[in-house]
Structure 1
Amino acid sequence: MTFKDRIDAGLQLAFKLKKYVIDPCVVLAVPRGGVPVAYTVASELNFPMQLVLTKKIGHPINREYAIGAASLTDYFIIPHDDVTEVYIQKEVKRVQEKLKDMQQKFMGDRPVLPLKGKTVIIVDDGIATGNTMLATVKVIRKEEPEKIIIAVPVTSAEAYKKLAKEADEFICLLIAEEFYGVGAFYDDFKQVTDDDVKTYINNLHQKEEFY
C-alpha cells in the first residue's frame, strides 16, 4: 500500500478521524512533512491547526537518539546515567530558543492555542522509530489535554507498539512490519519547504476567518 502524496494520506486520515468532530479538537502538525497531512485533516473536519511546538532533546553522543523533548514552557526527559543535568538544561534552553524562532517564523503574532481540556490530534506523515513522538506526547501531556490522539498514515510496527500505550488512541492507516523509511510509502514524497508550511498555515487561517 502506498499513498499518492501527503494530501491523499490526509484525506484518508480525515475519514478515520470523523468521529471526533463533536470534540473540542486541536490538530498539531509535526513540521515540516506532517504539515500538508495535518492541513488536509484540519480543512476537511474544520478543526483549528497549529504546529507541534516541541522538539526532541538528543543524547550528547548521538543527537538523533531522543532522550526527551521540550516545549515553549516545559520539558520531559527520560533519565540516562551518562547525561548530566548541566547538559539537559543547556539543551532545553537551546531548543526553546529554536521553538520561539519557529513560532515567529511560521505563526507570526497568532496566539498559541491552549491545549488544556482539548482533544489533541498529533499528525505526521509517518513514524519510523517513535522516540521523538514518544517524547512529544509526554511533554504535551503536561498541558493537561482531555485526550491525545496520534494520527499518521504509516508507522513501523516497532513504533506502533511503543506509542499505542502512550496515546489515548493511535490511528494509523498502515502498520508496516518491514519499514525502509517513510518516503517508501508515498508515490510523491517531495520535500516540504518553509514557504510551503507558511502557505498551509495562512490558507487555513484565512479559511477560519471566513467561517
Structure 2
Amino acid sequence: MRFQDRRQAGRDLAAWFLEWPETERLTDVVVLALPRGGVPVAAEVARALHVPLDVEMAQKIGMPGRPKLGVGAVVHDEPPSFDHEMLNYLGITEDELLPVIDDERRDMHRRERRYRMGRPALHVRHRTVILVDDGLATGATARAALRHLRTRNPRRLILAAPVGSPDAVVDMRDYADNVICLHMPEHFRAVGQWYANFDKVSDDEVVDTLRSFYAAA
C-alpha cells in the first residue's frame, strides 16, 4: 500500500472509521492533529466524522546533526520525553540535547500562537479523542502527546495513522485505548517511503486548514 499524498491517506483513514463498528459508540468526538504532517490527514477524518479539529502541539527532538532522527519529544511546557534506547545506542546524553530542546520548544510555542489565531485549545476532558499523525516511525512524538493527553482525562484515547512501523504500533498500544494503523509494512524505513508525494506541510497550510474548521464552528 502506497498513498498518493496525505489527503488521500486521510480519506482512507476516514473510510476505515466510517466502517468501524465501534465508531457508532464513540461520543463527543474531537480530532487532534500532530502538526505539521498530521494536519491534512486529520482534516479528512474530522470532515468525514463531522467533528471538531484542533492541533496537539508536540515537537520532535532530533539528533544533533541528524534532525530527522527523533530521539524524543517535547509537549507544551512539560519535561521532555526521551527514547532512552535510542540515546544509549547513539551514545548521547540528555544534557547534550538541552540546546536542541530549547530551540524546539521555542519553535513549538511560536507555531502554536500562529495556528490557534487567539483561540483556546479544545477541551478534551470526558471526550473521545482521536489523535492523528501522517505516520509512526519511532513513535516518540505520538508517545509524548498521548501521555500528555491522558493527564487531561479523555473518555477514550485513540491514535490513528495511515502507516507505521510494526514495532512503533505495538509500543503505542501501551499509551492509547485503541491504535488504528492502516499499513504496517514489514520492511519499514521511513514514513515518506509510503507516500508518492510527501512534500513538507507548511505553516500556511496548517493555518488555512484550521481556519476552515474554525469558520464552520
| TM-score, length basis structure 2 | 0.81
Correspondence for 1:69: 74
- Aligned-partner Cα distance in 2 for 1:109–1:123: 23
Which whole-Å deviations, capped at 9, do the CAs of 1:5-33 have from their partners, x for residues lacking one?
21111111112223436411111111111
Matches for 1:130-141 after TM superposition, within 5 Å: 130-141=139-150
- Aligned-partner Cα distance in 2 for 1:79–1:34: 21
- The question of 1:200 aligning with 2:204 is answered no
AA in 2 matched with 1:29: A
- The question of 1:16 aligning with 2:16 is answered yes
1:50 pairs with one of 35, 38, 54: 54
The SS at the match of 1:69 is strand
Which whole-Å deviations, capped at 9, do the CAs of 1:151-202 have from their partners, x for residues lacking one?
0000011111211232100001101110121121122222211111111111
Are 1:70 and 1:95, in contact at CA under 8 Å, matched by a contact in 2?
no
1:62, distance to aligned residue in structure 2 (A): 8.1
Change in CA separation of 1:76 and 1:146 when aligned onto 2, cut-off 3 Å: farther
AA in 1 matched with 2:75: A
- The question of 1:154 aligning with 2:158 is answered no
AA in 1 matched with 2:38: G
1:75, distance to aligned residue in structure 2 (A): 4.1
1:76, distance to aligned residue in structure 2 (A): 5.8
- Aligned-partner Cα distance in 1 for 2:130–2:141: 16
Are 1:137 and 1:167, in contact at CA under 8 Å, matched by a contact in 2?
yes
Are 1:68 and 1:78, in contact at CA under 8 Å, matched by a contact in 2?
yes
Are 1:68 and 1:75, in contact at CA under 8 Å, matched by a contact in 2?
no
| TM-score, length basis structure 1 | 0.83
Matches for 1:1-211 after TM superposition, within 5 Å: 1-18=1-18, 19-20=22-23, 22-57=26-61, 64-72=69-77, 74-75=78-79, 77=81, 82-83=93-94, 96-208=105-217
1:150, distance to aligned residue in structure 2 (A): 0.6
Query: What fraction of aligned residue pairs are identical, expressed as a percent?
Result: 33
What is the root-mean-square deviation of aligned Cα atoms in Å? 2.7
Change in CA separation of 1:142 and 1:66 when aligned onto 2, cut-off 3 Å: farther
Are 1:60 and 1:83, in contact at CA under 8 Å, matched by a contact in 2?
no
1:136, distance to aligned residue in structure 2 (A): 1.8
The SS at the match of 1:176 is coil
- Aligned-partner Cα distance in 2 for 1:59–1:6: 25
